[in-house]
């Protein structure tokens, strides 16, 4: 297992898409949809410059975070770390990198959605300082 200092966190580029999508697809707990098609991710990255990151070890992508905001609140999606690299602080560093950038753009709150039955994901968010809301439901509509 490499040391964490051997890895680099870099802004996600659309050229990373194929490798990133493969990682998302191979990660249990990821909810993927039409919104994750290449053209939609390209639009997302353009609208939200400097907010989404990959973590590389050598030339392999081993972690991802997608982050955007609407001018009021931030939203984080698809935080993933390749299984053999987990537990080394990479997930935390990816999320902190996006949050720092949000803050620098004047956004002071961020939300995310996690499946209720994703035990690993829920443990991660709970132990990295996120509040699990008990007072709200998410409503969704396909249009």
Ligand X SMILES: CC(C)(COP(=O)(O)OP(=O)(O)OC[C@H]1O[C@@H](n2cnc3c(N)ncnc32)[C@H](O)[C@@H]1OP(=O)(O)O)[C@@H](O)C(=O)NCCC(=O)NCCS
Q: By C-beta, is 21 or 143 nearer to ligand X?
A: 21
Binding mask 70-109 for ligand X (x = CB under 6 A): ---------xxx----xxxxxxx-----------------
Burial 85-96 (b: 16+ CB within 10 A, else e): beebebbebbbe
Query: Is residue 129 a contact residue for ligand X (CB under 6 A)?
Result: no
Query: Is residue 56 a contact residue for ligand X (CB under 6 A)?
Result: no
Query: Is residue 2 a contact residue for ligand X (CB under 6 A)?
Result: no
Query: Is residue 52 a contact residue for ligand X (CB under 6 A)?
Result: no
Q: Give the per-residue SS3 of 35-77.
A: HHCHHHHHHHHHHCCCCCEEEEECCEEEEEEEEEECCCCEEEE
Which residues between 27 and 46 bind ligand X (CB under 6 A)?
Answer: 27, 29
Query: Is residue 121 a contact residue for ligand X (CB under 6 A)?
Result: yes
Residue 66 backbone zone (phi > 0: left; psi -120 to 50: alpha; other: beta)? beta
Residues 6+ apart with CB under 8 A from 21: 36, 38
Query: Is residue 51 a contact residue for ligand X (CB under 6 A)?
Result: no
Query: Is residue 110 a contact residue for ligand X (CB under 6 A)?
Result: no
Only one of the segments 12-20, 41-49, 102-110, 118-126 lies at the binding site for ligand X (rule: CB under 6 A); that segment is 118-126
Which residue has its beta carbon closest to ligand X? Answer: 91
82: nearest Cα among 72, 94, 74, 90: 90
DSSP 83: G
Q: Which residues bind ligand X (CB under 6 A)?
A: 27, 29, 79-81, 86-92, 114, 118, 120-121, 123-124, 127-128
């Amino acid at each position: 297992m490499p040391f964490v200092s051997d890895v680099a966190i870099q802004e996600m580029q659309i050229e990373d898409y194929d490798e990133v999508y493969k990682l998302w697809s191979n990660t249990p707990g990821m909810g993927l949809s039409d919104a994750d098609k290449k053209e939609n991710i390209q639009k997302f990255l353009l609208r939200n410059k400097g907010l989404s990151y990959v973590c590389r070890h050598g030339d392999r992508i081993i972690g991802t975070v997608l982050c955007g905001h609407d001018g009021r609140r931030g939203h984080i999606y698809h935080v993933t770390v390749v299984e053999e690299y987990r537990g080394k602080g990479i997930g935390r560093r990816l999320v902190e990198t996006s949050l720092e950038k949000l803050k620098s753009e004047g956004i002071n709150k961020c939300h995310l959605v996690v499946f209720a039955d994703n035990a690993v994901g829920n443990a991660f968010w709970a132990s990295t300082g996120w509040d699990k809301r008990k007072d709200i439901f998410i409503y969704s509509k396909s249009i």
